């Protein structure tokens, strides 16, 4: 019988925003909770979106990472739980728990790296490091316990033809245009301004799914570029998987990424994808579907040559669709994470 672990995840995001990091953590905790005792230390704003089998512990992560009361809250909670594993998700959480590691020598501390880091000192102090792409792992070549675990996603239910037609019609200003979809928080790192500039002269409907501080500026830019009637800002949506089923093409324009969930979701839904050559994506897509970051003309050219070839390219994507559906799942991600925990706790090793 498999060992049942007590696992604490620490997610230090404040304010209740649910982006890729937060979605990853919440879904991983939920998947782990079916076979292990899982606790999540996070801002109170996430309590309502935490799976009912995960034991939630509200921590005020709005406090400075140097606030003694923040550390006191976390230490008291870990003392109460007495876990086998403390797993910190991304930079702020890792920078906090690194100082607690020495208080709990019987516990193994794990960190997940979700994006490129200039300073890896805090991560290097962990007992184990997980990166979400091979490229990110290169910075940790000397770490004795390193594992690459790609992000997984839960495939959405397939829409029937009538639902597809209705949803597609709701997104189109002009019936004949193909739909190009971009998904992500409206923040500078996602480079939606570059995407809008690249979209000038592209005969398609651009649908941007997500919200954030840049929304108003991006809407103004779309108007200045004469794209108002061909760009639709949907805001935050819970039905991203369904939306991707009606898109002809998904585009990632980011300056940097770890292993973007939207890539996994698009491929699981059978949606073709082009992207900037960011970490993670380069390990899945072939070079002819990539362009440099912050390159308006390069992204324009990629969209221009790809859209007329959608049906021709579809057969080339079939192995990618299958891989995403079979390997890049929440369950697969959880299984590989538990195997890594076992390696740390019990000295087992998977090749």
351: in domain: no
Tokens, residue 86: 């403390």
Q: Do residues 148 and 251 share a domain?
A: no
Angle 341-346-347 from CA coordinates, rounded to 5°: 95
How far apart are the two ends of the chain, measured CA to CA in Å? Answer: 22
What is the model's pLDDT at position 243? Answer: 96
In degrees and rounded to multiples of 5, residue 154 shows phi and psi of -95, 115
Q: Is the same domain home to 230 and 131?
A: no
Kindly state whether residues 57 and 176 are assigned to the same domain: no
Q: Say whether both 137 and 166 belong to one domain.
A: no
Give CA–CA dist 106/126, Å, rounded: 13
Please count the structural domains in the chain.
Answer: 2
Question: Can you give the pLDDT at residue 351?
Answer: 42
Examine the domain organization and report whether 79 and 189 are in the same domain: no
Residue 32 lies in a domain: yes
pLDDT (tens, 9 = 90+) of the chain, 351 residues, equals 578 999 999 999 987 778 888 999 999 999 999 999 999 999 999 999 999 999 999 999 999 889 999 999 999 999 999 999 999 998 899 999 999 999 999 999 999 999 887 888 999 999 999 999 999 999 998 899 999 999 999 888 899 999 999 999 999 877 789 999 999 999 999 999 999 999 999 999 999 999 989 999 999 999 999 999 999 999 989 899 999 999 999 999 999 998 999 999 999 999 999 999 998 999 999 999 999 999 999 999 999 999 999 999 999 999 999 999 999 999 999 999 999 999 999 875 444
The CATH number for 199's domain is 3.40.50.2000
Is residue 169 domain-shared with residue 242, that is, in the same domain? yes
Q: Within a domain: residue 116?
A: yes
Query: Do residues 104 and 246 share a domain?
Result: no
As given in the structure block, the two tokens for residue 9 are: 């995840």
Q: Is 88 in the same domain as 186?
A: no
Radius of gyration of the chain (CA): 21
**Do the domain assignments include residue 99?**
yes
In this predicted structure, what is the pLDDT of residue 172?
Answer: 84
pLDDT, position 308:
96
Query: What is the three-class DSSP state of 206?
Result: strand
* pLDDT score for 331: 95
Regarding whether 46 and 11 lie in a shared domain, the answer is yes
* 217-237 b/e (C-beta count within 10 Å ≥ 16 → b): ebbebbeeeebeebbbbbeee
Q: CB neighbours of 14 closer than 8 A, spacing ≥ 6?
A: 43, 45, 61, 62
- Domain co-membership, 103 together with 146: yes
Round to whole Å and give the CA distance between 278 and 255: 7
Query: For tokens 């990539």, what's the residue?
Result: 290
CB 20 within 8 Å of CB 240: no
Give the SS3 label for residue 231: strand
Helix axes 192-199, 215-224, angle to 10 degrees: 20
Whether 335 and 280 share a structural domain: no
Q: In the numeric block, which tokens belong to residue 243?
A: 């939306």
> Looking at the structure, do residues 132 and 165 belong to the same domain, yes or no?
no
Q: Range of 84's domain? A: 6-152+329-346
**Residue 121 and residue 101 in contact, taking contact as beta carbons nearer than 8 Å:** no
Task: List CB contacts of 33: < 8 A, sequence separation 6 or more.
Answer: 51, 53, 54
Cβ(61)–Cβ(40) below 8 Å = no
* 37: DSSP letter: E
Q: Which residues contact 9 (CB under 8 A, 6 or more apart)?
A: 25, 28, 29, 38, 39, 40, 41, 87, 88, 89
Residue 140, in any domain of the structure: yes
Q: 3-state DSSP: the chain helix, strand, coil percent, rounded to 5? A: 45, 20, 35
Query: Residue 247: inside a domain, yes or no?
Result: yes
285 in a domain, yes or no? yes
- Half-sphere exposure (Cβ direction) of 132: Cα atoms closer than 13 Å: 29
pLDDT confidence of residue 303:
98
Token pair belonging to 193:
């301004």
> Looking at residue 238, what DSSP letter applies?
S
Distance separating alpha carbons of residues 163 and 169, to the nearest angstrom:
10
Flag whether 1 is in a domain: no
Provide the residue count of the chain: 351
- pLDDT (0 to 100) of residue 347: 74
């Amino acid at each position: 019988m498999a060992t049942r672990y007590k696992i604490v995840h620490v997610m230090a995001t404040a304010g209740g925003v649910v982006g890729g990091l937060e979605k990853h953590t919440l879904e991983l905790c939920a998947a782990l909770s079916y076979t292990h005792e899982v606790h999540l230390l996070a801002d109170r704003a996430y309590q309502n979106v935490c799976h009912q089998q995960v034991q939630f512990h509200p921590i005020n992560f709005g406090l400075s990472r140097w606030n003694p009361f923040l550390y006191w809250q976390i230490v008291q909670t870990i003392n109460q739980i007495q876990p086998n594993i403390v797993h910190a998700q991304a930079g702020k959480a890792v920078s906090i728990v690194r100082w607690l590691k020495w208080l709990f020598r019987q516990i193994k501390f794990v960190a997940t790296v979700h994006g490129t880091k200039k300073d890896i000192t805090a991560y290097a102090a962990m007992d184990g490091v997980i990166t979400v792409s091979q490229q990110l792992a290169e910075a940790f070549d000397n770490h004795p316990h390193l594992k690459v675990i790609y992000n997984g996603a839960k495939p959405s239910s397939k829409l029937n033809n009538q639902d597809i037609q209705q949803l597609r019609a709701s997104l189109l200003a002009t019936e004949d245009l193909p739909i190009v979809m971009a998904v992500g928080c409206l923040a500078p790192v996602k480079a939606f301004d570059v995407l809008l500039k690249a979209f000038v002269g592209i005969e398609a409907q651009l649908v941007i799914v997500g919200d954030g501080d840049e929304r108003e500026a991006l809407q103004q830019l779309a108007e200045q570029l004469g794209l108002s009637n061909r760009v639709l800002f949907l805001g935050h949506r819970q039905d991203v998987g369904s939306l991707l089923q009606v898109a002809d093409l998904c585009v990632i324009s980011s300056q940097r990424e770890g292993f973007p969930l939207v890539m996994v979701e698009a491929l699981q839904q059978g949606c073709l994808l082009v992207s900037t050559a960011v970490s993670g994506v380069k390990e899945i897509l072939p070079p002819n579907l990539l362009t440099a970051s912050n390159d308006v003309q390069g992204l324009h050219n990629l969209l221009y040559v790809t859209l007329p070839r959608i049906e021709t390219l579809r057969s080339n994507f079939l192995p990618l669709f299958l891989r995403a559906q079979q390997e890049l799942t929440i369950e697969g991600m959880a299984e590989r994470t538990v195997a890594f925990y076992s390696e740390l706790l019990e000295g087992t090793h998977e090749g």
